[in-house]
Structure 1
Amino acid sequence: MPHFTTSDGTEIYYVDQGAGQPIVFSHGWPLNSDAWAIELKVFADAGFRAIAHDRRGHGRSSRSYAGNDMTTYARDLSELVNHLDLREVVVVGHSTGGGEVVRYAAQFADGRVSKVVTVGAVPPIMLKSDSNPEGTPIEDLDGIRAAVLKDRSQFWFDLAEPFYGANRPGAQVSEGAKQDFWRQGMLVDLPAAYDCVKAYSETDQTEDLKAIDVPIFIAQGDDDQIVPIAAAAEKSIKLVTQGTLKVYPGAPHGIYGAYQDQLDKDILDFIKS
């Protein structure tokens, strides 16, 4: 299994498939690169070099007590891109991974990024405040931390329901998909899972979005129960200079089913445009 070691000694696992223009995928919390398994094949089959990594503390990467913050995540991504000497990179990030690729493109890309894609992403900031009344209350985020600390195994089972919209009438989400969410969640180191809540919810990325100087495709489902769309995609599109927003009616936070099929097609179209 391929790994590389970051400048602070953290081992990062990654998958590298296909050949052509590179596309690097960054996963959401509490998942890992397995969340992009379908995309890795779809995009490699379409003639791209498809790469996905396990964030530090997640999946098969090092258990990392330190560095569970958005800047370190973006720096890790930068070091992976530099390690592989990738150019004209398209970065794609879901949820927390969306924050990671936005910070990377804004602060660490050094001319290597050609396009950015975010899906259900946390920027500009998820936390509710007087200036961001559409956000998530700190009490809800504290509840997530408490649940992770108390019984993370049960919490991952419970979280899979709203993550994929399986709690909606008529939803068709397989038991296998929900159990795979649980499986990936159980691979997260507890400190990384706990600290990442602060990273994804309290990092203000307003200036990152303003600094992105390449085209960005911002995608989100309008039935996202995890990241409020009014605090996320609908605000992000107003901050970028070369943005395209697409809202998917009825789509949840998790990338699954018909939503996944259409999203992958739209990302391909965006990259080729």
Structure 2
Amino acid sequence: MSYIKAGQDANGEDIKLHYTDQGQGQTVVLIHGWPQSHEAWTYQLGELPKHGLRVVAYTRRGFGNSSKPFEGYDYDTLADDLKAVLDTLDLQNVTLVGFSMGGGEVARYMSRHGGARVAKVAFISAVTPYLLKTDDNPDGVPQSVFDDIQANIAKDRFDFLQSFGKDFYGVGALSKPVSQAVLDWSFGMASLGSHQATVQCATAFATTDFRSDLAAISVPALVIHGEDDKTVPIKNSGERMSQHLKHATYVVYDGAPHGLFITDKDKLNRDLVAFATGSSVEASK
């Protein structure tokens, strides 16, 4: 396994991020969502390098085979971890792709580190611009929704993860967009995360306001969101991103759930390849 050092924890132990680096050419960096690992990008890792792209994907601290410190799950720290990846591998003119929680890392990195080394950004099913309902964000998600998530994690994290996975991929009584094998695979990834990381990252993506971070982004941007996303509803995220990234290309995947990197993998792969290589991506009307 390959690892990148991203600072030290409170006990002076090195924090190591598990990563993979495949292909050659223009670099795409993939940032996974909560509560999985970079292995979630399996179909993108298997396809994008075929199109003259170098693809780097890493696992966020606290998850998968990365180090699991007790602290450091705020977005400033997570953006610094992303910087460690870009700096250590000396990546240039990167296309940053953030899925769900990973969209927050993209936004915070661009403001906190001035967009260094980055040529383009993509937000896929992202938690940006701001999920929590507040007085100045009346269209957000009520705090009670996030309180229920935390309560269910505290009660039985593994049962929560299994139920969460079904909503993640849009599985219902009459809807089976993914197999049981995919649900099992996703549960296995999520269960490797530490309890503390799962809890603290849920707090981070629920309560962090990225509106000012998005204002710092001037590079080409792509926003993709599933129309039937029950995890990060499109009205709270995708539809609002155009208010903050007016120059972004906005694409809605009809009927797609949150986990569209699996359910709509072929379409997502085509759009990511086109965006990274400079071809046009057809915006939704």
TM range (shorter): over 0.9
Is contact 1:93–1:118 with CA below 8 Å preserved after alignment?
A: yes
Structure 1, gaps ≥5 residues long: none
Report the Cα distance in structure 2 between the residues aligned to 1:111 and 1:242, rounded to whole angstroms. 20
Report the Cα distance in structure 1 between the residues aligned to 2:33 and 2:19, rounded to whole angstroms. 15
| Higher deviation after alignment, 77-86 or 2-11 | 2-11
| Higher deviation after alignment, 23-32 or 160-169 | 160-169
Is contact 1:126–1:228 with CA below 8 Å preserved after alignment?
A: no
- Structure 1 residue 238 displacement after superposition: 1.4
Report the Cα distance in structure 1 between the residues aligned to 2:20 and 2:260, rounded to whole angstroms. 19
Is contact 2:38–2:58 with CA below 8 Å preserved after alignment?
A: yes
| Higher deviation after alignment, 127-136 or 97-106 | 127-136
- Structure 1 residue 42 displacement after superposition: 0.8
TM-score by length of 2: 0.92
Report the Cα distance in structure 2 between the residues aligned to 1:269 and 1:5, rounded to whole angstroms. 32
In the TM superposition, 1:210-229 aligns within 5 A as 210-229=215-234
Report the Cα distance in structure 1 between the residues aligned to 2:173 and 2:258, rounded to whole angstroms. 13
Corresponding residue of 1:6? 6
- With over 3 angstroms needed to count, the CA separation of the structure-2 counterparts of 1:127 and 1:51, relative to structure 1, is same
Corresponding residue of 2:99? 94
Q: What amino acid does structure 2 have at the position aligned with 1:176?
A: A
Q: Percent identity?
A: 37
- With over 3 angstroms needed to count, the CA separation of the structure-2 counterparts of 1:165 and 1:178, relative to structure 1, is same
How many residues end up aligned between the 2 structures? 273
Is contact 2:104–2:127 with CA below 8 Å preserved after alignment?
A: yes
- Structure 1 residue 261 displacement after superposition: 1.2
- Tell me how large the CA RMSD over aligned residues is: 1.4
Q: What amino acid does structure 1 have at the position aligned with 2:34?
A: W
1:263 aligns with one of 263, 268, 273: 268
1:121 aligns with one of 119, 123, 126: 126
TM-score by length of 1: 0.96
- With over 3 angstroms needed to count, the CA separation of the structure-2 counterparts of 1:65 and 1:20, relative to structure 1, is same
The SS at the match of 2:193 is: coil
Is contact 1:213–1:241 with CA below 8 Å preserved after alignment?
A: no
Matched, 1:172 2:189: no
- With over 3 angstroms needed to count, the CA separation of the structure-2 counterparts of 1:110 and 1:256, relative to structure 1, is closer
Matched, 1:189 2:201: no
Corresponding residue of 1:234? 239
